[in-house]
Amino acid sequence: MLNDGCAASLETTDSLETAPKTPCRVLVVDDDEDSATLLAVLLRKLGYEATPVIGGREALAAAKNSPPEIALLDLNLPGMNGFELAQRLRKAAANPNLKLVALTGYSGDEIRKRCHQAGFDAHLVKGVDLDELIATLGPASTPPVAPIAA
């Protein structure tokens, strides 16, 4: 199952198409502070609302405070690995459409299989092409939600 991240399946009306869009919230989790920060800065420049964190416990706290639409997770993290973090984020997600993306230095069929079993929607290898990253994440913003008719 591949979630669309911020791409909501909503019927839009003319008034919604002209309303301001909400930036897609992305949680960037890596054991390397510089890598997490640099990726978050890049994502912000592309229009996402990105929050960098170091480690699994910090990621769980950040997700609780500001639920993301997308979580980019390294697999080699202090405290808990990315597989455990993915499962815990999925279980605790305020957003049932949370998109989990493994962004790691590990590659190969066995890692992809483990990522799928852990609940990841996608697996990317560090050094990923920017176009592939953007295609995996989806749009940088979401359309506004239509009010529910009474």
Task: Give pLDDT tens digits for 46-76.
Answer: 999 999 999 999 999 999 999 999 999 999 9
Spatial CA neighbour of 71 closest among 92, 9, 143: 92
**Is residue 16 predicted with pLDDT exceeding 80?**
no
Contact of 49 with 70, CB cutoff 8 Å = no
Long-range contacts from 46-53, C-beta under 8 angstroms, 24+ separation: 46/134, 46/140, 47/23, 47/140, 47/141, 48/23, 48/24, 48/137, 48/140, 49/23, 49/24, 49/25, 50/25, 50/26, 51/25, 51/26, 51/27, 52/28, 53/27, 53/28, 53/29
**Is residue 146 predicted with pLDDT exceeding 80?**
no
Spatial CA neighbour of 24 closest among 121, 128, 137: 137
Question: In the prediction, which pLDDT does 95 show?
Answer: 79
The overall average pLDDT reported for the chain is: 85
Structural domains of the chain, ranges and CATH numbers in brackets: 21-142 (3.40.50.2300)
Question: In the prediction, which pLDDT does 65 show?
Answer: 93
Q: What is the mean pLDDT of residues 129-146?
A: 82
More confident site: 142 or 1: 142
Q: How many CB atoms lie within 10 A of CB 134?
A: 15
Q: What is the mean pLDDT of residues 95-117?
A: 93
CA angle 114, 31, 99 (to 5 degrees): 50
pTM (two decimals): 0.82
Q: What is the mean pLDDT of residues 29-40?
A: 96
Q: Which pair of structure tokens corresponds to residue 93?
A: 């997600």
Question: In the prediction, which pLDDT does 50 show?
Answer: 97
Question: In the prediction, which pLDDT does 144 show?
Answer: 54
